[in-house]
Amino acid sequence: MKYLLALTFCFYASISAITQEMKPEETKVWDPEPAVITPGMNGSAPSDAIVLFDGKSLDGWVDKDGGPSKWKLEDGAMVAQKGAGDIITKHKFESAQIHIEWRTPAKVEGESQGRGNSGIFLQGVYELQVLDSYNNRTYSNGQAGSIYKQTMPLANASKGPGEWQTYDIIYHAPTFNSGHEYKTHPTITVFHNGVLIQDHTKIQGTTPYIGPPKVNQHGKGPLKLQDHGNPTAFRNIWIREL
């Protein structure tokens, strides 16, 4: 025991000696300097972001066949139309910070997965669920903020139907060993209305309605918004590539 105490003392004494010999300058980093940007206000895009939807035009979006988006442009928002199909950004990305605002219909119709259902697919593959989860019980790994059929959100931070809500996302793209095996999994952190609901969550693969996740190798991909037959709206969408 005495020997251990002496050893511990020597260790801290030597660390303290090194620290005393050093000058403050030796641990200061001046170069490189982080880029200077102008931050946004109330969720608006910072100066170095790519704006994917500014409320005025659907130009940055196409349907899955590459044709023009059939979603409706309404009061600065784009609204899913039953039968119009999913839409994707022309812009393709890998790891990114993403801000997106969404609103489920004020008129409450349907229940469980049938109420305000849409989704945000990272790289067009992995669904972060959008749903009216305000007083609307459904399976936990299918409610708003879930990685669909994989990971439930840490909390239900939903606002009511007809209210604008925010997701702030930090997404890291996967790398692959082979066609069906990750080298590093994709990961996702999500703030829902400012509340942490996914904390560096490891994504297991695709997010199908039926069956387990699958791993399919992919490169850069778009942001995809789901048409699930409910008129869910989106606005103020921007991305900063990491």
Q: Which residues bind Mg ion (CB under 5 A)?
A: 117, 119, 226
Q: What residue is closest to Mg ion based on CB?
A: 119
CB of 129 to Mg ion, least distance (A): 5
Measured CA distances, 197 to 112, 179, 193, 228, 238 (Å): 20, 30, 10, 23, 20
**Minimum CB distance to Mg ion smaller for 117 or for 138:** 117
CB of 84 to Mg ion, least distance (A): 15
In whole angstroms, what separates CA 87 from the centre of its chain? Answer: 17
Strand (E) or helix (H) holding 15: helix 2-21
**Minimum CB distance to Mg ion smaller for 53 or for 126:** 126
Distance in angstroms (rounded) separating the CA atoms of residues 191 and 172: 15
CB of 30 to Mg ion, least distance (A): 47
CB of 224 to Mg ion, least distance (A): 11
**Minimum CB distance to Mg ion smaller for 99 or for 149:** 149
CB of 65 to Mg ion, least distance (A): 20
Distance in angstroms (rounded) separating the CA atoms of residues 226 and 232: 9
User: What 3-state class would DSSP assign to 231?
Assistant: coil
**Minimum CB distance to Mg ion smaller for 40 or for 141:** 141
89 φ/ψ angles, rounded to the nearest 5 degrees: -80, 150
**Minimum CB distance to Mg ion smaller for 166 or for 207:** 207
| Of the candidates 240, 225, 233, the residue with the CA atom closest to the CA atom of residue 60 | 225
* Contact between residue 105 and residue 228 where contact means Cβ atoms under 8 Å apart: no
